[in-house]
Amino acid sequence: MRIDEVQLKGFGKWQDAVFRFAPGINVFVAPNEAGKSTLLQGIIAALYGMKRDYVKSARYLAEYEKYRPWHQGDYETIITYQLAGKTYRLHRYLNKEREQARIFLDPEWTELTDIYLEDRRKERNFIEKHLGLTRSLFTDLTWIRREPLSAAEHLMPSLDATDDANPAVNKILTELDRDLAGIGKKEKAENTMLGKASALAVQKEQELVGAEAAWRVINQLTQQIAQWEEVRAEQEQMRERVRKRLERLQQQHETWQERWQKSYIVPGPKEWEWWMQSAASPEEQRNHQETMDALQGLKRKHREQGEPAQPREGGEVNRLQLQQDYEQGIQLRKRWEQCHMELASMATVAVASPRRQGRSNRGDNLKKQRRGKIILWGTAGAFLLLAILALYSEHGIMGAVALGLAVLFSGAAYLLYRGKESGDYAATASVSASAEDWQRLSEEVSSLDDSLFQLVQRWGAATWEEFLEKRGELQNSIDTREAKQMAAQMNEREEEALLVTRWGEVLRSCLEKEKATRDHEQEMLQVERVQIEDRLQELREQIAGANGKMGAHETVSVAKAKADQEDAANGLRQLLIKREALQIARDALQEALGEWNRDVSPAVNERASEVITQITGGKYQDVRLDPREGFAIRLLEPTRQLVLEQEQCSTGTQDQLYFAQRLALLQHVSNETEPLPIFLDDHFGHYDEKRLRRTLEYVAKLGMKQQIFLFTCHDRELRLLEPYLDQSGGRHRLHQLGEMR
């Protein structure tokens, strides 16, 4: 037998992993926990599955849960192997309740599954039929490890190579007779196992007939229910589609309401972009685009038709600046007039003082004083009236001069005719003290004249009166221009309002059409939903009625009845086979003992001795296997000629004895032309360097005719096997599952 490939679709840490093997030695070098042991367990599971041997209650190994796929994938393996010149592909699904397996013949992949009958577990044991070995026997013989044989009693049951075994053989023969008597010879006997099994098989056959009749009724109802369920699923899908469509229509209606409300609001630049994106029809989008283009064209037209502003020495006339300069000029004029009045008052005082000093007598000429008084006050009143008229007509200079003269004459009249002689001395002192004030006011008047001249000159005028005239002209020009601009803006707003109004009307027309279409679709969907609900209610009633009819037959299970009938028939068949086997066993027991004594025991012991001699370099040469104690190993110590039990040897020697034991039994059981593979999982950990080298040399010889799987986490075995791997010409192969530590 040769294993070509194994695919672990899901097994422990391995997922979708593919391993291809050489026909000779396959060395797997990887650190601990890299998956070596998992791979080995995967190969065994791919060949035999996860079931136990020789037990009835527990069907699966404890490793089933241990090697469940980590990635939650399918528990699945595929293995390809060669046997008797044929290539088989075995595909397993490791379901916990019931494993499933299919086998194909390469290269055509012809399925051979149904050729192999199912056992009591409803499983087809392909490898057992091919090799004649159960899972336990296969692992006992091919997997070399430091463990006793787990199925030694099934390898060669109750056989020994000495005469001391006769009592045991007689005991077995007695038990065979007792078992035959318990089974019985006639199927109609009521008290024997054979009679009870026969009666049970007849009873279960009758129950199966009744169950099949009930099943036919259930099957018809089941088919009808399945059809109704399909229709119901389709109706539910349609209802879900209608529901989603109604939800979308509701969302569209909410968006529509928002758009309807915004259709009465003049859009800004960002709102136009929102309208373009939310347009529900080409007509609406065209309306938005045309309105936007019209508004932009209108703005461009008004910009082109706008009148240029009136220049003012390189700049546009500024109404605010003109008003500020005018107000500043008014303040300057007021202060200028105040200064002139103060100067006039000071001049009057200066003129009146000498007259009072020269006057010797007040009452010399009263008539002359009265006439002078009338002349002074009349002249002051005339000048005051002239000043008021000049200021009202905006002739500021003339008004200021007239006002000053009026003040001067009125002051003179007051001082000449109302003053008292007691104030003459004070007036004289005041005239002398006002010289400085006169100088100060004269300078301030000069400064005011300069400031006022500079102010009016900025506006291209030479005098304050000319500035006032020009100010009027400029204000009229500004008012005219602003009026034109305001009129243009009003026209632009009116045209924009007309465009926006027309846009809103067209938009609301589109929205009304959209709403009408949506309302119609919504009505149709509502009608369709009601029809679907009616149909679903009808289907639910039909399914409930069919389930009620099926409830009358639920107590009858065809599968259980068939399983019971098959179990009863199989029990009867197995009982007959067992009776026949027991009879054959009685006849063959003595012959088998003779065959073991003559062939098996000496040959196995000889092969085990050859292996231990090769490994130890001749230190140990004689090994015996005891079938009565699970093929326990005993060793002859050559120096003292002592027989040593395996447990009395060192750890390394114990491993080597297990190696010799397994190889001896494997070589005896295997076909010389197609030997079974050998599995070594970190077996050489306690070997010293010399014995390891000799063992690997022996393994290399075995690898020339049979397949070997060697798993190790050390580079020592790899180093010793490298010469054989390099010179194998493809017969051997190195597999690295991970980096060495």
DSSP annotation string for 322-381: HHHHHHHHHHHHHHHHHHHHHHHHHHHHHHHHHHHHH---TTS-HHHHHHHHHHHHHHHH
Mean pLDDT by 10 residues, the chain (741 residues): 94 92 93 89 91 58 81 90 92 84 90 82 81 85 87 58 43 62 68 78 81 80 88 92 91 86 81 81 84 81 59 55 84 81 72 51 55 69 70 66 71 59 46 68 82 83 81 82 78 80 86 88 91 91 84 68 81 78 70 56 84 89 82 86 88 90 85 83 90 93 93 90 87 78 35
Q: Tell me what pLDDT residue 88 has.
A: 95
Q: Tell me what pLDDT residue 46 has.
A: 93
Please state, in angstroms and rounded to a whole number, the distance separating the CA atoms of residues 668 and 481.
125
CA distances from 136 to 24, 47, 140, 150 (A): 24, 12, 6, 7
Strands 143-144, 678-681: parallel, antiparallel or unpaired by DSSP?
parallel
Q: Tell me what pLDDT residue 391 has.
A: 65
Please state, in angstroms and rounded to a whole number, the distance separating the CA atoms of residues 255 and 160.
96
Please state, in angstroms and rounded to a whole number, the distance separating the CA atoms of residues 668 and 610.
13
Please state, in angstroms and rounded to a whole number, the distance separating the CA atoms of residues 172 and 334.
152
Question: Can you give 286-302 as a three-state secondary structure string?
Answer: HHHHHHHHHHHHHHHHH
Please state, in angstroms and rounded to a whole number, the distance separating the CA atoms of residues 407 and 205.
153
pTM of the model: 0.46
Token pair, residue 587, equals 């006849």
Please state, in angstroms and rounded to a whole number, the distance separating the CA atoms of residues 78 and 89.
7
- Report the SS3 class of residue 627: helix
Half-sphere CA count of 402, side-chain side, radius 13 A: 17
Strands lying side by side in the sheet with 86-93: 14-20, 2-11, 76-83, 86-93, 100-105, 110-111
- Non-local CB neighbours of 124 within 8 Å, separated by 6+ positions: 101, 103, 113, 116, 117, 118
DSSP state of 596: I
Summarize pLDDT for 342-383 with one digit per residue, the tens: 777 777 666 555 544 444 444 455 556 666 666 766 776 676
Strands lying side by side in the sheet with 733-736: 143-144, 678-681, 708-712, 25-29, 733-736
Answer whether 91's CB lies under 8 Å from 103's CB.
yes
Token pair, residue 491, equals 């026209």
In Å, how far from its chain's centre is CA 424? Answer: 113
Half-sphere CA count of 448, side-chain side, radius 13 A: 20
Answer whether 34's CB lies under 8 Å from 735's CB.
no
Please state, in angstroms and rounded to a whole number, the distance separating the CA atoms of residues 51 and 32.
27
Q: Tell me what pLDDT residue 317 has.
A: 59
With pLDDT > 90 as the criterion, what percentage of the chain qualifies? 18
